Amino acid sequence: SAVISQKPSRDICQRGTSLTIQCQVDSQVTMMFWYRQQPGQSLTLIATANQGSEATYESGFVIDKFPISRPNLTFSTLTVSNLSPEDSSIYLCSVNRYTEAFFGQGTRLTVV
Amino acid sequence: AQRVTQPEKLLSVFKGAPVELKCNYSYSGSPELFWYVQYSRQRLQLLLRHISRESIKGFTADLNKGETSFHLKKPFAQEEDSAMYYCALSGRSYNTDKLIFGTGTRLQVFP
């Protein structure tokens, strides 16, 4: 299995500011995934973070809005920039281990 | 296009009744399909995967390639089964481990 610590668990932010979410895994992994879960909707993949290279973003998500860092094989951060109310959502990090996905507990972001 | 469809947002049953949570997919290749579950105040976790052909907590799911379905079934629902269930597809055929999720079905089991 994989144990993922994600923080903060929740935050309330002013529009126009940024929030950085941290994800720590208990063992080394090649890829880390960042998902967004908007109210009443499914989990949508934002990007895949590889250590030592640029993150790969899904359609509709751009680096300027969601910059990602991956300084080593156990840690990643996702920043949600220039916040607007539409960014209010739950953000999840995830890793795979033997075809099973493990998730952090999520960060609930509210933009006011 | 790769897509997972869960047509029911909410499914309510009484304890002891059979349960079927529907999942249909669209994928050009050999899919790997999963059911993930999120109990109240817990993180999302794997329930079962089609390649294992296993029964977990009484739940089973059979991949039907002809109907492109992967419905989750349990003959006798329990109150502790109440949770959010997500069907997911892995894009392994495209050399990626990312998951594509359906919109989820909330299962409510009443006593």
Neighbours of B36 (CB within 10 A): 24
Q: Return d(Cα A52, Cα B14) in angstroms, integer.
A: 51
Query: Does A45 touch chain B if contact means CB atoms closer than 8 Å?
Result: yes
CA B66 to chain centre: 18
Mutate to test the interface with A, among B5, B34, B35, B44 (most CBs of A within 10 A): B44
Q: Note whether A58 and A73 are within 8 A (CB).
A: no
Q: Return d(Cα A10, Cα A31) in angstroms, integer.
A: 24
Q: What is the mean pLDDT of residues B49-61?
A: 87
Provide, as residue numbers in chain B, all residues whose Cβ is less than 8 Å from the Cβ of A45: 98-100
Provide, as residue numbers in chain B, all residues whose Cβ is less than 8 Å from the Cβ of A101: 34, 36, 46, 88, 99
Phi then psi for residue B52, to 5 deg, are: -85, -25
Q: Note whether B81 and B19 are within 8 A (CB).
A: yes
Would you state the pLDDT for residue B71? 97
Residue type (1 letter), B32: E
Q: Quick: pLDDT tens for A3-61.
A: 999 999 999 999 999 999 999 999 999 899 999 998 778 899 999 998 878 899 999 99
Q: What angle do CA A2, B45, B79 make, to 5 degrees?
A: 145
Lowest mean pLDDT segment, chosen from A12-16, A88-92, B16-20, B25-29:
B25-29
> What is the three-class DSSP state of A73?
coil
